Amino acid sequence: MTDAAKKETLNKFEKFKAEKDGLAVKGELEHFAAIGWEAMDETDRDHRLKWLGVFFRPVTPGKFMMRMRIPNGVITSHQLRVLGEIVQRYGDDGNADITTRQNIQLRGIRIEDVPDIFSRFRAAGLTSVQSGMDNVRNITGDPVAGLDKDELFDTRDLVRQVQDMITNNGEGNPAFTNLPRKFNIAITGGRDNSVHAEINDLAFIPAFKDDTFGFNVIVGGFFSAKRCDAAIPLNAWVPPETVVAVCKAVLEVFRDHGLRANRQKSRLMWLIDEWGLDKFRAEVEKQLGQELQPAAEKDEIDWEKRDHVGVFRQKQPGLNYVGLHIPVGRLYAQDMFDIARLAEVYGDGEIRLTVEQNLIIPNIPDSRLDAFFAEPLLQRFSISPDTLTRGLVSCTGAQFCNFALIETKNRALSTIKALEAELHLTRPIRIHWTGCPNSCGQPQVADIGLMGTKVRKNGKAVEGVDIYMGGKVGKDAHLGTCVTKGIACEDLQPVLRDLLIEHFDAKPKQEAMVTR
């Protein structure tokens, strides 16, 4: 086939990537700022800007979203304050969300401010590069890395090295800006799989070989509207010093051989299916230039997953990390300033983000805990939230996302409050909301997952959900499946109530009071 004929058969996304690399818009930001969002070339505005982490939002035209990269979810108070200052200038339009990839998204951004925002990022050591479209997403690592006395490996430096390799130290790296599709990487060093390793395209899980520490490698995990799969073992064990090279080799194989014709069939698992695991593994070895060692017999994930909400002793004597619950991850500028202040006054200025959309303030001395607990901010961002609130996660939904079939974050909060008023629960239940089948809110890892859909009720299309159950995280993780389809959101509360009573030992409050 000639090059021209090949181009003819490319889908729209492959075509515009072939015409101009996404990263090329980096040199055009001043021009975009000068002409404004309405005059911009539509492909640059709606798609290529995502290579810089700048997302046009059709729901709020002219007010862009920016998706950062926060490797391992570690951010400083100074950096959080810089992000707070950026959203503050947009008044009511400005806010931020902690994402399900231990990351931060900013909202309300005007294109004319983007060049200045990038200078602020650079000065603060932040980057948003390659965080959207056909790029590697924020790389997740243990949120309590370096703090947890039971950890097997501190993932922070390794996650940073992988990000630096992929993004050319945050400047952008054309070697990895034209992948067939998005790509997720996770590295876990704790005993409880805090990062949902199994739902990543490539993940590293602690495993010892002859008493030497390393990682077993799993590949191909992903969620999409068409198909969801947990990652499968590559039958490879790698020492920490080989992780960056393995990431590079896997990405090069995916870039050069991944399927590109149909975007619904382009994630890594589809290539593994087409080739078979043995061929895929052999190609990774070829690219790596060395043989991979077979997987260690047993990986070391043997704990139930922790959510890190509450107060915990660190491995450093006399110090504690405190996990704050951030309802559905939503932060406003003042919250960001307040959190930065708490991290500085009580800790050492560091903050950690979790895939449950919460945050952790580490390094608080024993002597400062009581004063910390008395801070008014803890009324809103609790260290002991109610059992249902505690496990609540929600994707962006219709407020800002044009794929959304339903409103999620506000509805998730009001539904949980209503259920908590009715029911008594003895343990946290993880309820995840996602506004459409793309599954950004990961309903398949939840005890109860709710996926937005449209339902017909009284002859009208109304907002509804499909219900997922059985997601298990941490040790022996596996994906939940759809158990009930098409419940109208207005009818959902009693359905959830019954599920909680039937499957999770919830008791109606009246009854619980009598039997106690």
Give the interface with ligand SF4 as residue ranges (CB under 6 A): 395-397, 401, 403-404, 434-436, 438-441
Q: Tell me which of 108, 132, 441, 471 is the catalytic residue.
A: 441
270-280 in b/e burial notation, b at 16+ Cβ within 10 A? bbbeeeeeeeb
Q: Is 402 in the site for ligand SRM (CB under 6 A)?
A: yes
CA dist 25 to 134, 311, 342, Å?
15, 45, 38
Which option in ligand SRM, ligand SF4, none does residue 88 bind, with CB closer than 5 to 8 A by kind?
A: none
Instruction: Note the helical H segments in 392-470.
Output: 409-422
Q: Is 81 in the site for ligand SRM (CB under 6 A)?
A: no
Residues 423 and 404 sit within 8 Å (Cβ to Cβ)? no
Distance between CA atoms of 35 and 17, rounded to whole angstroms? 23
Smaller CB separation from ligand SF4, 287 or 442: 442
| Residue 46 Cβ vs ligand SF4, minimum distance, rounded to whole Å | 15
Smaller CB separation from ligand SF4, 33 or 482: 482
| Residue 131 Cβ vs ligand SRM, minimum distance, rounded to whole Å | 6
Which option in ligand SF4, ligand SRM, none does residue 191 bind, with CB closer than 5 to 8 A by kind?
A: none
- Residue (of 309, 196, 289, 203) closest to 247 by Cα position: 203
Residue 67: active-site member: yes
| Residue 400 Cβ vs ligand SF4, minimum distance, rounded to whole Å | 8
Distance between CA atoms of 469 and 309, rounded to whole angstroms? 23
Give a three-class secondary structure readout of 189-205. Answer: CCCCCCCCHHHCCEEEE
The set of residues, in sequence order, having a beta carbon less than 8 Å from that of 504 and lying 6+ positions away, is 425, 427, 429, 447
Residues 342 and 371 sit within 8 Å (Cβ to Cβ)? no
| Residue 80 Cβ vs ligand SF4, minimum distance, rounded to whole Å | 23
Distance between CA atoms of 201 and 185, rounded to whole angstroms? 6
Residue 441: active-site member: yes
Q: Is 135 in the site for ligand SRM (CB under 6 A)?
A: no
**Residue whose Cβ sits closest to ligand SF4:** 435
Which option in ligand SRM, ligand SF4, none does residue 436 bind, with CB closer than 5 to 8 A by kind?
A: ligand SF4
- Of the candidate residues 438, 469, 493, 497, the single one contacting ligand SRM (CB under 6 A): 438
Smaller CB separation from ligand SF4, 190 or 327: 327
Q: Tell me which of 73, 440, 452, 489 is the catalytic residue.
A: 440
Smaller CB separation from ligand SRM, 103 or 387: 103
The set of residues, in sequence order, having a beta carbon less than 8 Å from that of 52 and lying 6+ positions away, is 22, 23, 25, 26, 29, 118, 128, 129, 172
Give a three-class secondary structure readout of 322-352. Answer: EEECCHHHEECHHHHHHHHHHHHHHCCCEEE
Distance between CA atoms of 93 and 423, rounded to whole angstroms? 35
157-165, 203-211, 340-348, 435-443 -> range binding ligand SRM (CB under 6 A): 435-443
Q: Tell me which of 435, 449, 464, 474 is the catalytic residue.
A: 435
- Of the candidate residues 81, 156, 260, 267, the single one contacting ligand SRM (CB under 6 A): 267
Which option in ligand SRM, ligand SF4, none does residue 435 bind, with CB closer than 5 to 8 A by kind?
A: ligand SF4
Tokens of 86: 């950026």
Q: Is 213 in the site for ligand SRM (CB under 6 A)?
A: no
Tokens of 391: 């496990």
Partner residues linked to 453 by β-bridges: 464
Which option in ligand SF4, ligand SRM, none does residue 121 bind, with CB closer than 5 to 8 A by kind?
A: none
What's the distance, Cα to Cα, between the start and end of the chain in Å? Answer: 76
Which option in ligand SRM, ligand SF4, none does residue 127 bind, with CB closer than 5 to 8 A by kind?
A: none
Tokens of 212: 């030497």
Distance between CA atoms of 410 and 97, rounded to whole angstroms? 13
| Residue 435 Cβ vs ligand SF4, minimum distance, rounded to whole Å | 3
With contacts defined by CB under 6 A, how many residues of the chain interact with ligand SRM?
A: 33
Which option in ligand SRM, ligand SF4, none does residue 99 bind, with CB closer than 5 to 8 A by kind?
A: ligand SRM
Q: What residues act catalytically?
A: 67, 181-182, 435, 440-441
**Binding residues vs ligand SRM (CB under 6 A):** 55, 57, 65, 67, 97, 99-101, 103, 105, 131-132, 137-138, 181-182, 184, 199, 222-225, 267, 395-396, 400-403, 438-440, 442
